[in-house]
Amino acid sequence: MKFLEVQSSVVFIGEGFSTAFFQESKYTDILGEPDQETQVNIPVAKRQTFPETGYQILLMPDRMEFSYFKEDFFPEGLKKIAEGLVQVLEAVNPESCAGVGINLSVTIPADEVGKTGFEFCRENFLAWPDPKGRLEADEFKFNTSKLIYSFHNVLYHVDVEPHLASDGENLFVKMNAHQDVDKTNSIGTAINKFDEIREHTSTLHGKLLRG
């Protein structure tokens, strides 16, 4: 299956994060050379892109996000970065992290779906009839679906909708696998399920397109 746009990411949510938690120099074999022109680096936040390898890092006091913008879902390099950060957080400040998300968003072209994104969603998802007349609209342009379910103690949020930038020609699918950090689940619990989440995500895309 081919995709027009892909973003895999691992996100750590919390408070009190420091840019010093992530030592970029440890991952040069994965990240490659940074793009100095797009770099944002201030005392409390940093954003850095790596065009050759497709990686991007975003470090803020309440969010640390590591993204990959190529077709292979959740590459091993992204997993290694996440595992390294888990070790740092658990050693330095485990209370700072409240949750971990492993995310994927893809834009699938109409010729892969077999129909436009608009047609796919119209045929597979029920339109909200708005029986109480809460909204004023000339027409309901797009049908979308939001799925929320738990699988192996991971909470999945899945959005399926026509791709707005192509006016519904293509199909957009976004998935978030989230796990809170609490007495039962440590910071590393979700990352330990990285391979399982990657496999589940690939299977999910196949099932969605088969209808």
Report the DSSP beta bridge partners of residue 66. Answer: 10, 57
CB count, 10 Å around CB of 203?
10
Instruction: Report the pLDDT value the prediction gives residue 211, as an integer from 0 to 100.
Output: 54
Answer yes or no: are the C-beta atoms of 41 and 58 closer than 8 Å. Answer: no
Distance of CA 208 to the CA centre of its chain: 18
Tokens of residue 87, six digits? 């070790």
Domain ranges across the chain: 5-127+143-210
Instruction: Report the pLDDT value the prediction gives residue 123, as an integer from 0 to 100.
Output: 86
Tokens of residue 13, six digits? 């949510």
Distance of CA 58 to the CA centre of its chain: 13
With vertex at residue 140, the alpha carbon angle to CA 132 and CA 168, rounded to the nearest 5 degrees, is 155
Instruction: Report the pLDDT value the prediction gives residue 13, as an integer from 0 to 100.
Output: 97
Identify the CA nearest to 40 among candidates 26, 23, 56, 62.
56
Tokens of residue 185, six digits? 């689940």
With vertex at residue 84, the alpha carbon angle to CA 79 and CA 88, rounded to the nearest 5 degrees, is 145
pLDDT along the chain (211 residues), means of 10: 90 95 94 90 91 96 96 92 95 93 95 91 73 63 84 92 93 94 90 92 79 54
Supply the DSSP string of 109-166, one letter for each residue. Answer: -HHHHTS-HHHHHHHHSPPP--TT-----S------EEEEEEETTEEEEEEEEE-GGG
Q: Classify 5-127+143-210 by CATH class.
A: alpha beta
Q: What is the DSSP letter of 127?
A: P
* Residues in the chain, total: 211
pTM, two decimal places: 0.89
